[in-house]
A and B are shown apart, each in its own frame.
Chain A
Amino acid sequence: AQTVTQSQPEMSVQEAETVTLSCTYDTSESDYYLFWYKQPPSRQMILVIRQEAYKQQNATENRFSVNFQKAAKSFSLKISDSQLGDAAMYFCAYPGSGNTGKLIFGQGTTLQVKP
C-alpha cells in the first residue's frame, strides 16, 4: 500500500529560527511529484512547495526548502527564519498510483511558532 508518514505530530520553533519537518513515503513509481501543503487553523490548505522526483536538485521557495532523498524515500521541509504566520498544520502529500493525480496525505505536523 502506498503510504506517507509524518512522524512528528507537533513541532515548535522560536521566531526567526529554522525548523525541519520530516516525511517518508512508500512507492514503487520511478517518476512522481511530492508536495508540502500548509493548513492554517480554520483556513484553506495551500501549496508550500513541490518537488519533482526526477530532479536531483532540491526545490526552494523563498524561506521554504526541501531535502529530497529519493533512495531513502525521504522528503523533509525546512523553514528558515520562521515567522508567526508559519504556524499551521503541515501535510506532506504524494500522488497515488495511476494517472488520476489523487493525493495521499500524511497525518500532518502541527507547527507552533513562539515569539
Chain B
Amino acid sequence: DTGVSQNPRHKITKRGQNVTFRCDPISEHNRLYWYRQTLGQGPEFLTYFQNEAQLEKSRLLSDRFSAERPKGSFSTLEIQRTEQGDSAMYLCASSRQGSQPQHFGDGTRLSIL
C-alpha cells in the first residue's frame, strides 16, 4: 500500500492560465474522489469516479473544471482560465467499493497570482 499520490504538491500560476493536477490512487481502489479545501474549512466534494466512469459532479465544478480517469487508474483535474477564487488545496481520495473509508493524498495547493 503506497498510498494516494498527488502531483504537484504546489502550483503557482497567473490568473487566466490553465493548470492540471494528477492523482494516483491506491492500486486496488476503484473509487476516486476530488475535493477542494480552502483555508480553515472542511473539504468540499467536487467529483467522483468509479473505475473510469465519472458518476457525480458537484455544482461547485464549473465548466472551467474537467476531470478524467481514462483507464480507471490515475486521474487528472484540469482548471481552465484560472481565477483568484480557485486558490485552494485540491485533495484526492480513493477507496474500495461500498462504505470503505477514503484514503487521502497530500493534496495540491494552488495559488493564483
Q: Are A50 and B33 in contact (CB under 8 A)?
A: no
Identify which of B45, B102, B107 contacts A96 (C-beta below 8 A): B45
Q: Are A103 and B102 in contact (CB under 8 A)?
A: yes
B96-113 CB mask vs A (1 if < 8 Å, else 0) is: 001111111111000000
Q: Are B102 and A101 in contact (CB under 8 A)?
A: yes
Q: Are B45 and A35 in contact (CB under 8 A)?
A: no
Residue A75 lies at the interface, judged by CB distance under 8 Å to chain B: no
A93 to B35, CA, bound (A): 13
Chain B residues, CB < 8 A from A50: 101
Chain B residues, CB < 8 A from A11: none
Q: Are B44 and A105 in contact (CB under 8 A)?
A: yes
> How many B residues face the partner with a CB closer than 8 A?
27
Q: Are A105 and B42 in contact (CB under 8 A)?
A: yes
Q: Are B104 and A46 in contact (CB under 8 A)?
A: yes
A102 to B102, CA, bound (A): 9
Q: Are A102 and B45 in contact (CB under 8 A)?
A: yes
> How many A residues face the partner with a CB closer than 8 A?
25
Chain A residues, CB < 8 A from B107: 44
Identify which of B35, B44, B55 contacts A100 (C-beta below 8 A): B55
Q: Are A102 and B106 in contact (CB under 8 A)?
A: no
Residue A107 lies at the interface, judged by CB distance under 8 Å to chain B: yes
Q: Which residues of A contact B (CB under 8 A)?
A: 4, 32-33, 35, 37, 43-47, 50, 91, 93, 95-96, 98, 100-108
A sample of 24 inter-chain contacts (CB < 8 A) reads A32-B99, A33-B99, A35-B101, A37-B104, A44-B104, A44-B106, A44-B107, A45-B43, A45-B91, A45-B104, A46-B104, A47-B102, A47-B103, A96-B45, A100-B48, A101-B33, A101-B95, A101-B100, A103-B45, A103-B102, A104-B45, A105-B43, A105-B44, A108-B41
